[in-house]
A and B are shown apart, each in its own frame.
Chain A
């Protein structure tokens, strides 16, 4: 399976703290993507990092990619209650035609 696997499964932090989620995958990739899902809603794309990139930033988000370790991390800095959601990493399938999602990390940020 090329499914990415997120770690930890659940994370609880206080507002203002940083949250780090990790994703491991099994085969070579062209890109890796992170998505957020608020309760009862569809997934929303956060950031895409390509295999030739090591780090990417978007606002309070920082994504790293280590292709040698087949792993990625998503860092949310200065977290807010509104960041409470599930976060998924996604990698492309063998045919290169579709994304396969992991089971996600559930982040809870309390004020």
Chain B
């Protein structure tokens, strides 16, 4: 049963620290997405990759966020330095473009 996995599941850190979130997409999927979910903003698309190449990261604060896909089995989302307003649940999803997306369980981030 293929699934998207994310680590860590929970992260508590202090303001100013670097946070790295990892995602293993479903093998064979050509598109990987990063979302952020908060009560106020709902589900926001941060960035996505197709065949490991970044397609769009316009939803991401560029000064502190970076997303990479070093190989087909790993996508990373980094925040440096982290701020309390970054507290949210971060989801990774994989799929094929505008078709069905498969979501990971999320990383719940709390920045103190």
A-to-B contact residues, CB < 8 Å: 30-31, 33, 41-45, 48, 88, 90, 92-93, 95-104
Contacts and interface: CB of A to CB of B under 8 A. Distances in A.
A95 B56 contact: yes
A9 to B, nearest CB: 11
B68 to A, nearest CB: 18
Contacts of B99: 31, 48
Nearest to A33: B100
B97 interface: yes
Contacts of A42: 4, 91, 93, 103-106
Interface string B78-91: 00000000000001
21 contacts: A41-B105, A41-B106, A42-B4, A42-B91, A42-B93, A42-B103, A42-B104, A42-B105, A43-B101, A43-B103, A45-B100, A45-B102, A48-B100, A88-B43, A90-B101, A92-B98, A95-B55, A96-B97, A97-B56, A100-B45, A101-B45
Interface in B45-86: 45, 48, 50, 55-56
Nearest to A29: B98
Interface string B7-44: 00000000000000000000000010101000000110
B42 A104 contact: yes
Contacts of B98: 30-31, 92-93, 96-99
Interface residues of B, number: 23
Contacts of B55: 95, 97-98
Nearest to B33: A98
Given A41-B105, A41-B106, A42-B106, A97 B31 contact: yes
Centre residue among B31, B33, B91, B99 by max chain A CB count within 10 A = B99
